[in-house]
Structure 1
Amino acid sequence: MIYITRREHFNAAHRMYRDEWSEEKNFEMFGKCANPNWHGHNYNLFVTIKGNISYETGYLMDLKDLKAIILEYVVDKLDHKNLNKDVDFMQGKMASTELLCIEIFKQLKAPIEAFEGVFLHSVRLHETENNYAEYFGE
């Protein structure tokens, strides 16, 4: 079994807050991430697939196809967007890096695994150079 990783990049804004909490409680829990004027990140996304190499082609999956899937199902929906307001698959969810990572995995699983013998192994999402979440599925 081989593992291949594709990196993509997007920029997005979000705010960590709960409507039912006071502004003070939100700031106590989320700090500057609760800024009512939002804040943004330059995210780096790493998508790892796994499977067996096709000896006919010499690779697991054409990386042009993997790139196209990531762009269509994730980057085009997230880049220069407000995660809390603009992204359909984040509606009603806290816009944390952890939950965003899980939701990205869910967006990518079916289109990637439509390719015979290819499986989505993990999604790794870097919010900053020091902080990231990684999800391997259920």
Structure 2
Amino acid sequence: MENKIAVYRREQFNAAHRLNNPEWSEEENQRIFGKCNNPNYHGHNYILELKVVGFPDAKTGYVVDMKILSDIIHKEVIKKFDHRNLNLDTEEFKTLNPTAENIAIVIWNLIRPHISSDLDLYVRLYETERNFVEYPTV
């Protein structure tokens, strides 16, 4: 059976961050980023959805083993970002503004090497119930 299908894995992590461009004045940062520029940071309960698209394996019926996918997410994302200040505690955001867009791209880059190249990988990251980003776009 040659039917392409998508499988999803959802995880959660909590992290603090501050949106700030060091090349701008405090006033400009405040004007652009508003409350997200709080010098004492602020946090989110991020919901991460990974979508993996491919053909089910003839022997297992899996596109990807969800336990293995969960283990990869925990190693590459949760252990690095959960209960951390993204600006201060992570190498990935030492010089990269931790917007939802940038976080999603970083997560994709962390996960992609661990997923078979014949599978498509998509990241959806919810920063709030109403705000989310997807990478890459369709």
Q: CA–CA distance in 1 between the matches of 2:94 and 2:114? A: 21
- The correspondence for 1:55, drawn from 25, 48, 58, is 58
TM-score, structure 1 as length reference: 0.91
Q: Is the 8 A contact 2:17 2:98 kept in 1?
A: yes
Q: Is the 8 A contact 1:90 1:103 kept in 2?
A: no
Q: CA–CA distance in 2 between the matches of 1:47 and 1:120? A: 10
TM-score, structure 2 as length reference: 0.91
Matches within 5 A, 1:78-89: 78-89=81-92
Tell me, which stretches of 5 or more residues in structure 2 are unaligned?
A: none
Overall identity of the aligned pairs, in %: 44
Which is further off, 53-62 or 5-14? 53-62
Q: Which residue of 2 aligns with 1:35?
A: 38
Q: Is the 8 A contact 1:69 1:112 kept in 2?
A: no
Amino acid at match of 1:70: I
Number of equivalences: 135
Which is further off, 95-104 or 55-64? 55-64
Q: CA–CA distance in 1 between the matches of 2:92 and 2:26? A: 26
Aligned-residue offset at 1:75? 1.1
Which is further off, 11-20 or 50-59? 50-59
Matches within 5 A, 1:11-30: 11-30=14-33
Aligned-residue offset at 1:107? 0.5
Q: Which residue of 2 aligns with 1:134?
A: 134
In structure 1, the residue corresponding to 2:92 is in which secondary structure?
helix
Q: Is the 8 A contact 2:112 2:121 kept in 1?
A: no
Tell me, which stretches of 5 or more residues in structure 1 are unaligned?
A: none
RMSD after superposition? 1.6
